[in-house]
């Protein structure tokens, strides 16, 4: 597959949407209002399992300003959203009297003002018949789901490999529930006009919202428009269509007026997903030279009682290193918990912590440098399939990252490096991130005034999609940035992939590439028989676009401007649609590669207080071709901050009743500026061969590996191996 030569590469440009955001004029879902708009508030269950025995609504219905009170007793039948290639949408709300988790919606109150709705919500009296909830991963009563997508992997004979090993590791690692907590509270505004519906929603996938609402209410998708020009963060929380979105549309249909619903922070903890907790067993075997003889990764993670959201934790361990004998398997335990969802680097964040911690343990068991152990087991080709990767710069990540970090200065003995009373530790981790590229479409139009409009129904959750797609469009069409407008966040635009899984840049970028080439072809078709055009009879492969004109690649003097062609043919614009869908690996003889990275961390530990301070982190990343180094670096830094939170701070605590005990940002700890040290990012590697623009996604790879690198550095500093996140002072004292 040939890779398009793209020139707008380097330090990058400022975000094109930056001025709107810093001036407060960017419109987020909660900013939209309509005349005669009412407000909805949710009422949540105060038990984690059982049934609703009775509901008394009279007091709430008689409260000032109240327009409707909806419970399972008067809600209409709602259909579940359609299955997607990625996950199932959550079950529709208010369909029966069962309680499956604490915080489940048992009612919605609609009033003239948000304050009136909140006041009336407290008057809704719900009587429960509580049952004992299932809350623990190892509860033998929990239903267990095994390998629902057929992603467990096996090769060779792990038992024989372990028996033949000179050194082994057999350890249990655990990670807790964590909550996405984007800065912007999720909001939905719904407006019906007959059977047509307009929705503003905090979504990372507008088309998923449209399909789910169409199914729920039995109306055509063509009559639903979802608008998401800006999202106040997501980290995966906006990928599924949550019950509050359906309830907002239901409330608007019930009172026949526009309705707005804005979640509170505690509702964000129970209503828009979380990263699942895990228990993982890693078994590794190696010979005296450090070559792996066996790798086994067994993961058990949580899922809600009635949900189908599978994000494998162990799968990527099967191909992270060259090992002849490997077994990886995932099981899920059904619990009375809020529905989980993707959280930045889903599955990989938890699985990498276990694998890379175990690799570190193995290096000490063998007496080998942790970096050398990883290099010795470097997988030149995909071990499970035996095919080469479409690109792989992980070796360069290891080598250049180690040099930039100063890894060679590390004293290998645990507890040997000090600065006064502080214990100093160096740790590292390797990252082989999964590949994800769903189908996507885009449209490009060139207009008589020489400007271009390019668009797709994708979203930008702060990753820089507006900017890099504007850059890419400008480059492919040969226009200055200020002459290109990129539109997104509107289901009236061509169909788009979800903004998640680090796949949108590949998917959307390839579709934009197709659309831009298509519109240039449309110009060539227009002048194909035009005797006045110097481009008459030219083929697409013969031309390039530059300075607002199409010209011959090897004779740039021969060409003409878009505006001149349109004017001569009395056209206002020319438009082309483009699409992208990746080829099958077996058809092209290679395995599509996601991003790779090596993470290096230095920590300082106070042995008397158990305090851990991260002193610096170096991330070396193979992200393929980097379209905008500035926004890409920002993504790696953001992911690194999330990784520091995962390692040292973040844990969603559920008490024995099933209630989340720390459902505020005052109690759920996230990193702040004082927690963040010097963060250095370097990009290595070459353009990827699996898509025409050579890119990979980098939105999540910056988080993966950070928790393991920090935990490994803590061991190097103290000699204490922490296998359970977060690393808190009680585990070090």
Dihedral through CA 723, CA 725, CA 726, CA 731, nearest 10?
Answer: -30
pLDDT (average), residues 455-482: 95
Would you say residue 252 lies in a domain? yes
Would you say residue 172 lies in a domain? no
Q: Which of 501, 636, 526 is nearest to 576 (CA)?
A: 526
Q: In the structure encoding, which two tokens stand for residue 66, read together?
A: 């109240």
Would you say residue 314 lies in a domain? yes
pLDDT > 60? residue 484:
yes
More confident residue, 85 or 719: 719
pLDDT > 80? residue 632:
yes
pLDDT > 50? residue 29:
yes
For residues 414 and 557, state if they share a domain. no
Burial class (CB in 10 A: 0-12, 13-18, 19+), 579: middle
pLDDT (average), residues 399-411: 98
pLDDT > 60? residue 189:
yes
Query: How much of the chain exceeds pLDDT 70, in percent?
Result: 98
On the question of a cis peptide bond just before residue 726, with omega within 30 degrees of 0, the verdict is yes
Q: Specify the pLDDT at position 1.
A: 35
Give the HSE-up count for residue 43: Cα atoms under 13 Å, Cβ half-sphere: 25
Last residue of a domain, one of 581, 616, 637: 581
Catalytic residue among 4, 311, 602, 700: 700
Can you spell out the DSSP letters for 47-95? SSSEEEEEEE-HHHHTSTTEEEEEETTTPPP-PPPPP-SS-PPPPPSSS
Which 3 state secondary structure label does DSSP give 376?
Answer: helix
Burial class (CB in 10 A: 0-12, 13-18, 19+), 576: buried
CATH number of the domain that 250 lies in? Answer: 3.30.365.10
pLDDT tens sequence across 145-167? 999 889 999 999 999 999 999 99
Q: Specify the pLDDT at position 586.
A: 81
Would you say residue 158 lies in a domain? no
DSSP secondary structure code for residue 115 in this structure: H
Total tally of structural domains belonging to the chain: 3
pLDDT (average), residues 592-607: 97
Q: Specify the pLDDT at position 3.
A: 43
Would you say residue 140 lies in a domain? no
For residues 431 and 442, state if they share a domain. no
Q: What is the mean pLDDT of the chain?
A: 96
For residues 282 and 410, state if they share a domain. yes
Would you say residue 174 lies in a domain? no
pLDDT tens sequence across 314-337? 999 999 999 999 999 999 999 999
The 3 state secondary structure assigned to 638-705 is: HHHHHHHHHHHCCCCCECCCCCECCCCCCCCCCCCHHHCCEEEEEEECCCCCCCCCCECCCCCCCCCC
pLDDT (average), residues 388-407: 98
DSSP secondary structure code for residue 451 in this structure: -
For the whole prediction, is pTM greater than 0.85? yes
For residues 456 and 577, state if they share a domain. yes
Q: Which of 331, 453, 435 is nearest to 387 (CA)?
A: 435
For residues 572 and 561, state if they share a domain. yes
Query: Which residues, including other chains, have CB under 8 Å from residue 66's CB and lie 6 or more apart?
Result: 60, 109, 110, 111, 116, 117, 120
pLDDT > 80? residue 645:
yes
For residues 663 and 597, state if they share a domain. yes
pLDDT (average), residues 193-218: 97
700: annotated active-site residue: yes
For residues 343 and 366, state if they share a domain. yes
Would you say residue 637 lies in a domain? yes
Strand pairing report for 196-201 and 224-227:
parallel
Q: Which of 376, 138, 99 is nearest to 279 (CA)?
A: 138
Last residue of a domain, one of 525, 558, 581: 581
Of 79-93, 448-462, 491-505, 683-697, minimum mean pLDDT range: 79-93
For residues 423 and 454, state if they share a domain. no
Are the C-beta atoms of 440 and 458 separated by less than 8 Å?
Answer: yes
Would you say residue 141 lies in a domain? no
pLDDT (average), residues 692-718: 97
pLDDT tens sequence across 533-568? 999 999 999 999 999 999 999 998 999 999 999 999
For residues 218 and 246, state if they share a domain. yes
pLDDT tens sequence across 267-295? 999 999 999 999 999 999 999 999 999 99
For residues 473 and 417, state if they share a domain. no
For residues 93 and 217, state if they share a domain. yes
Q: Specify the pLDDT at position 497.
A: 87
DSSP secondary structure code for residue 397 in this structure: H
Last residue of a domain, one of 581, 600, 618: 581
Full domain range(s) for residue 43? 32-132+183-233+238-271
530 pLDDT band (50/70/90 cuts)?
very high
Compute the C-alpha angle 594/595/601, nearest 5°: 145
For residue 198, the tally of other CB atoms under 10 A from its CB is: 18
41 pLDDT band (50/70/90 cuts)?
very high
Of 112-116, 307-311, 471-475, 525-529, minimum mean pLDDT range: 307-311
Are the C-beta atoms of 155 and 324 separated by less than 8 Å?
Answer: yes
For residues 630 and 650, state if they share a domain. yes
């Amino acid at each position: 597959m040939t890779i398009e030569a793209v020139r707008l590469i380097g330090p990058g440009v400022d975000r094109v949407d930056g001025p709107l955001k810093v001036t407060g004029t960017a419109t987020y879902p909660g900013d939209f209002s309509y005349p005669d708009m009412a407000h909805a508030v949710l009422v949540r269950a105060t038990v984690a399992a059982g049934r609703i025995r009775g509901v008394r609504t009279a007091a709430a219905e008689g409260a000032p300003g109240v327009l409707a009170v909806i419970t399972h007793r008067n809600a209409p039948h709602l259909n579940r959203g359609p299955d997607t290639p990625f996950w199932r949408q959550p079950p529709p709300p208010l369909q029966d009297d069962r309680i499956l988790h604490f915080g489940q919606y048992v009612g919605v109150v609609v009033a003239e003002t948000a304050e009136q709705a909140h006041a009336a919500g407290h008057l809704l009296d719900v009587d429960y018949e509580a049952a004992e909830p299932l809350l623990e991963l190892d509860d033998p009563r929990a239903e267990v789901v095994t390998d629902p997508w057929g992603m467990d992997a096996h090769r060779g004979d792990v038992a024989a490999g372990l028996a033949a090993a000179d050194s082994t590791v057999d350890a249990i690692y655990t990670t807790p529930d964590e909550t996405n907590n984007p800065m912007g509270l999720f909001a939905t505004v719904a407006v019906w006009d007959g059977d047509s519906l307009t929705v503003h929603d905090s979504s990372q996938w507008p088309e998923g919202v449209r399909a789910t609402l169409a199914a729920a209410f039995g109306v055509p998708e063509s009559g639903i428009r979802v608008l998401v020009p800006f999202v106040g963060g997501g980290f995966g929380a906006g990928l599924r269509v949550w019950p509050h979105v359906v309830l907002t549309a239901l409330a608007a249909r019930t009172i026949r007026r526009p309705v707005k619903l804005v979640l509170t922070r505690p509702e964000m903890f129970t209503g828009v997903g979380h990263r699942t907790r895990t228990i993982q067993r890693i078994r590794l075997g190696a010979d005296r030279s450090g070559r792996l003889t066996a790798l086994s990764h067994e993961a058990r993670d949580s899922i809600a009682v009635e949900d189908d959201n599978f994000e494998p934790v162990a799968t990527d361990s099967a191909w992270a290193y060259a090992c002849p004998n490997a077994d990886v398997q995932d099981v899920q335990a059904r619990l009375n918990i809020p529905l989980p969802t993707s959280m930045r680097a889903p599955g990989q964040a938890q699985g990498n912590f276990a694998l890379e911690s175990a690799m570190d343990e193995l290096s000490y068991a063998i007496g080998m440098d942790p970096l050398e152990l990883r290099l010795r087991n470097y997988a030149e080709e995909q071990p499970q399939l035996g095919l080469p990767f479409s690109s792989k710069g992980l070796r360069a990540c290891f080598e250049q990252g180690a040099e930039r970090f100063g890894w060679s200065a590390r004293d290998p003995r645990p507890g040997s490096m000090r600065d006064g009373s502080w214990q100093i530790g160096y740790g590292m981790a390797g990252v082989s991130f999964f590949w994800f590229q769903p189908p996507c479409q885009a449209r490009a139009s060139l207009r008589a005034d020489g400007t271009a409009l390019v668009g797709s129904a994708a979203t930008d959750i702060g990753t820089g999609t507006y900017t890099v797609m504007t850059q890419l469009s400008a480059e492919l069409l040969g226009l200055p940035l200020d002459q290109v407008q990129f539109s997104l966040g509107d289901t009236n635009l061509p169909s788009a992939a979800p903004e998640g899984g680090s796949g949108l840049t590949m998917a959307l970028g390839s579709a934009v590439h197709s659309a831009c080439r298509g519109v240039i072809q449309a110009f060539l078709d227009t002048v194909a028989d035009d005797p006045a055009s110097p481009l008459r009879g030219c083929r697409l492969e013969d031309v390039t676009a530059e300075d607002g004109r199409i010209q011959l690649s090897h004779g740039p003097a021969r060409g003409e401007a878009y505006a001149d062609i349109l004017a001569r043919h009395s056209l206002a614009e020319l438009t082309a649609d483009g699409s992208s869908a990746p080829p099958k690996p077996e058809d092209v003889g290679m395995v599509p590669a996601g991003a790779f990275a090596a993470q290096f961390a230095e920590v300082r530990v106070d042995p008397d207080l158990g305090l851990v301070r991260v002193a610096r982190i170096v991330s070396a990343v193979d992200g393929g071709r980097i379209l905008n180094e500035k926004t890409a670096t920002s993504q790696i830094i953001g992911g690194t901050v999330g990784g520091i939170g995962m390692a040292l701070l973040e844990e969603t605590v559920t008490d024995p009743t099933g209630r989340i005990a720390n459902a505020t940002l005052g109690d759920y700890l996230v990193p702040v500026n004082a927690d963040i040290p010097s963060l250095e990012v370097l990009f290595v590697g070459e353009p990827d061969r699996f898509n025409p623009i050579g890119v990979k996604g980098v939105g999540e790879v910056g988080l993966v590996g950070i928790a393991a690198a920090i935990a490994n550095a803590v061991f190097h500093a103290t000699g204490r191996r922490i296998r359970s996140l977060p690393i808190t002072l009680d585990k070090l004292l």
